[in-house]
């Protein structure tokens, strides 16, 4: 079966909750039954657990002190600030790295220290802390290098820094792929032996914890650190960190700050992206605001993002925000072109025997291949690595499906790679061009050994089946208590059957399908992005079964309900 095919998702329904347990939760919480059904389907069947989930509070956050290595890191930074030692903050290219760098730079400056923020060039310097960072630290005379969102695997560069008499403190959240570097401290919740309770923190969460501990160690008020929760929320969402546990608290509180942020650069970015005055959800931050900041590291200099977030005046911030807006538009064009080329390559692959996809080209831009890898995984439900080749070396970015641990899979290919790192669901590699064929074959072997054909069928997890008439403003208000939505806390998916289409289908934008669902309260507009090619399957007055997410849409200052289509089929009566 060659060619590009998109497998229809399998709808997976939750088990019916225990009747008595449901009634008890309704009585304990005093909220509608539909909300309690959703809570139980998400694993919050006990009243106290449900209350913590529905009412995330700052006092639910863990004390930073259980981060392994924190005392040594704080002690050295306190000494650096008091002695006037220059601290170089070495960040990563993405929003998480940019915001972490900004947060720690602001913290040390406010505490009276000398700090030099630095992020290498993605295209010329490669990933992680490397020779560019070592050279920069020596050039500026740094006494301490403090990494953000990188460093866990940078053993050689860290050894070079230490041999030059420079102390190194790593703050990171990536899974260690080998022995940790030998340095002053490695602050990473995922490292072996670290007893910090929440392993899901993004790098910005680790930087935030260090900033709190450092500020308190210097007997200073920590209010200004809490005031940077807007950056913590922005980076946590952008890095697709699970929005549960501490991340849920940090993002819930940070989104409130983001809406009224005092950060001049963030305000400029919001103006440039058209978000000023609009309610900020995790979705809007992740799909509108974050990509513009990410564009700095993908196509330009990530340090421009740090400069934007450190701006003190609109006159400084507005030109950088416009620059990032233009970069993002260019990034979108590159995304589309690269995705089209990737689809053409996949059309020539026998997908029956391909469980792990590896694609490469010497015309691809390394700054967009991660985004395109995500789209490939969404469309073909297979782990995918996309690699941009230049000067005999490939730099790749990968994404995965829930059933396949990408980091572990790459570990089984390590003999073919120069380096790799990342997480279960996302990772990066560097590979010699002459090893690409062997890597593709080995990656597919590893994927075939770990995955079953059934794993390659996408699943659409349904939270609740309901009558379409129940999809009203009251239900949407209930759903607001479940926000923020994202990885680890997805927006609830509802299924309604035998729903009448109130109008003929329309194609909107590049690939959108617009339908109108008839309800007792009036019609609900339904949008399915990427579904334009299915418009011919539907007609006015037809009955359909539809899986959807219920959202509120703002258009010209008017708020209305909207169903975001996850999947849809013509209704078929069950056989007698």
What single string gives the DSSP state of each residue in 41-98? Answer: HTT--SHHHHHHHHS--GGGSPPGGGSTTHHHHHHHHHHHHHHT-EEEEE--SSHHHH
Strand partners, 514: 506, 527
- Kindly state the percentage of the chain with pLDDT values over 90: 89
Q: In the structure, what pLDDT confidence band is assigned to residue 112 with cuts at 50, 70 and 90? A: very high
User: Quick one: pLDDT at residue 160?
Assistant: 97
pTM, two decimals, is 0.90
Q: Contact 335/362 with Cβ under 8 angstroms?
A: no
Q: Contact 466/280 with Cβ under 8 angstroms?
A: no
d(CA 487, CA 402): 12
d(CA 522, CA 502): 10
- Report, in this order, helix, strand and coil percent for the chain, each rounded to 5: 45, 20, 35
Mean pLDDT calculated for residue range 282-298: 93
Domain assignments of the chain as residue spans, ordered by start:
60-326, 349-456, 462-576
DSSP 242-299: --STHHHHHHHHHHHHHHT---HHHHHHHHHTT-TTS---HHHIIIIIHHHHHHHHHH
Residue 6 above 70 pLDDT?
no
Domain 60-326 identical in fold to domain 462-576: no
> 349-456 has which CATH code?
3.10.310.30
Domain 60-326 = CATH 3.90.1640.30: yes
Q: In the structure, what pLDDT confidence band is assigned to residue 247 with cuts at 50, 70 and 90? A: very high
Exposure on the CB side of residue 208, measured as CA atoms within 13 A: 30
Q: Convert the pLDDT of each residue in 33-70 to its tens digit.
A: 999 999 999 999 999 999 999 999 999 999 999 999 99
Q: In the structure, what pLDDT confidence band is assigned to residue 575 with cuts at 50, 70 and 90? A: low
Q: In the structure, what pLDDT confidence band is assigned to residue 558 with cuts at 50, 70 and 90? A: confident
Q: Contact 114/63 with Cβ under 8 angstroms?
A: no
The residue assigned the tokens 């005031």 is 227
Mean pLDDT calculated for residue range 115-126: 88
The phi and psi torsions of 360 (rounded to 5 degrees) equal -150, 160
DSSP 494-559: EEEEEEEB-S--EEETTTEEEEEEEETTEEEEEEEET-GGGGGG--TT-EEEEEEEEEEEEETTEE
Q: In the structure, what pLDDT confidence band is assigned to residue 559 with cuts at 50, 70 and 90? A: confident
User: Quick one: pLDDT at residue 279?
Assistant: 85
The phi and psi torsions of 519 (rounded to 5 degrees) equal -130, 170
Long-range pairs, 500-504, Cβ under 8 A, ≥24: 500/541, 500/542, 500/543, 501/538, 501/539, 501/540, 501/541, 501/542, 501/543, 501/544, 502/540, 503/540, 504/539, 504/540
Strand partners, 545: 569
- Kindly state the percentage of the chain with pLDDT values over 70: 98
Mean pLDDT of the chain: 94
Handedness of CA 141, 145, 151, 152 (dihedral sign): positive
Q: Convert the pLDDT of each residue in 13-29 to its tens digit.
A: 999 999 999 999 999 99
Burial of 461 (0-12, 13-18, 19+ CB in 10 A): middle
Q: Collect all residues with Cβ–Cβ distance below 8 Å to 78 and sequence separation of at least 6.
A: 214, 217, 218
Residue 177 above 80 pLDDT?
no
Map residue 165 onto helix, strand or coil: coil
User: Quick one: pLDDT at residue 5?
Assistant: 52
Q: Contact 102/231 with Cβ under 8 angstroms?
A: yes
Mean pLDDT calculated for residue range 397-422: 94
Strand partners, 550: 563
Domain 462-576 = CATH 2.40.50.460: yes
Long-range pairs, 131-140, Cβ under 8 A, ≥24: 131/157, 131/160, 133/88, 133/90, 133/157, 134/160, 134/161, 134/164, 136/88, 136/90, 137/88, 137/90, 137/161, 137/164, 137/166, 138/164, 138/166, 140/86, 140/88, 140/116
User: Quick one: pLDDT at residue 2?
Assistant: 41
Question: What do you get for the CA distance between the two ends of the chain, in Å?
Answer: 35
Mean pLDDT calculated for residue range 108-124: 94
Residue 555 above 70 pLDDT?
no
User: Quick one: pLDDT at residue 1?
Assistant: 37
User: Quick one: pLDDT at residue 136?
Assistant: 97
Q: Contact 516/471 with Cβ under 8 angstroms?
A: no
Map residue 209 onto helix, strand or coil: helix
Residue 355 above 90 pLDDT?
yes
d(CA 199, CA 201): 6
């Amino acid at each position: 079966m060659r060619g590009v095919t998109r497998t229809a998702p399998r709808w997976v329904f939750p088990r019916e909750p225990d009747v008595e347990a449901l009634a008890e939760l309704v009585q304990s919480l005093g909220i509608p039954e539909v909300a309690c059904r959703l809570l139980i389907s998400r694993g919050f069947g006990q009243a106290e657990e449900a209350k913590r989930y529905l009412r995330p509070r700052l006092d639910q956050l863990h004390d930073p002190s259980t981060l392994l290595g924190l005392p040594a890191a704080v002690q050295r930074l306190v000494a650096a600030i008091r002695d006037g030692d220059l601290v170089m903050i070495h960040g990563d290219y993405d929003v998480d790295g940019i915001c972490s760098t900004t947060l720690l730079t602001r913290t040390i400056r406010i505490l009276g220290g000398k700090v030099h923020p630095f992020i290498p060039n993605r295209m010329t310097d490669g990933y992680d802390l490397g020779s560019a960072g070592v050279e920069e630290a020596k050039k500026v005379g740094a006494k301490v290098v403090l990494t953000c969102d990188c460093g866990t695997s940078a053993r050689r560069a860290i050894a070079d820094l230490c041999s030059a008499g420079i102390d190194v403190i790593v703050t990171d959240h990536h899974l260690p792929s080998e022995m940790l570097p030998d340095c002053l401290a490695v602050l990473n919740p995922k490292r072996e032996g670290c007893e910090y309770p929440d392993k899901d923190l993004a790098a910005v969460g680790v930087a935030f914890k260090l900033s709190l501990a450092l500020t308190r160690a210097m007997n200073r008020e920590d209010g200004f650190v809490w005031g940077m929760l807007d950056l913590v929320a922005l980076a946590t969402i952008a890095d697709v960190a699970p929005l549960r546990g501490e991340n849920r608290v940090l993002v819930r509180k940070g989104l409130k700050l983001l809406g009224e942020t005092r950060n001049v650069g963030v305000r400029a970015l919001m103006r440039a992206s058209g978000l000023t005055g609009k309610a900020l959800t995790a979705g809007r931050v992740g799909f509108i605001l974050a990509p513009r900041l990410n564009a700095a590291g993908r196509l330009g200099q990530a340090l421009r993002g740090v400069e934007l977030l450190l701006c003190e005046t609109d006159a400084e911030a507005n030109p950088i925000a416009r620059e990032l807006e233009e970069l993002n538009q260019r990034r979108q064009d590159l995304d589309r072109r690269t995705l089209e080329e990737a689809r053409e390559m996949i059309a020539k692959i026998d997908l029956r025997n391909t469980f792990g996809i590896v694609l490469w080209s010497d015309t691809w831009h390394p700054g967009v291949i991660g985004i395109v890898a995500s789209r490939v995984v969404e469309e073909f439900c297979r782990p995918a690595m996309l690699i941009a080749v230049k000067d005999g070396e490939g730099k790749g970015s990968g994404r995965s499906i829930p059933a396949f641990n990408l980091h572990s899979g790459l570990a089984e290919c390590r003999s073919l790679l120069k380096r790799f790192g990342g997480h279960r669901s996302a990772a990066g590699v560097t590979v010699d061009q002459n090893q690409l064929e062997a890597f593709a074959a080995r990656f597919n072997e590893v994927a075939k050994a770990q995955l079953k054909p059934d794993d390659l069928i996408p699943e659409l997890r349904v939270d609740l089946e309901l009558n379409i008439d129940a999809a009203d403003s009251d239900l949407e208000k209930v759903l607001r208590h479940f926000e923020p939505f994202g990885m680890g806390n997805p927006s609830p998916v509802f299924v309604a059957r035998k729903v009448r289409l109130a109008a003929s289908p329309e194609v909107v934008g590049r690939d959108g399908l617009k339908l109108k669902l008839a309800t007792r309260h009036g019609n609900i507009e339904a949008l399915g992005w990427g579904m334009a090619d299915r418009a011919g399957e539907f007609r006015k007055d037809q009955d359909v079964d539809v899986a959807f997410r219920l959202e509120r849409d703002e258009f010209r200052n008017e708020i209305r309900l909207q169903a975001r289509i996850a999947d849809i089929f013509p209704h078929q009566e069950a056989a007698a």
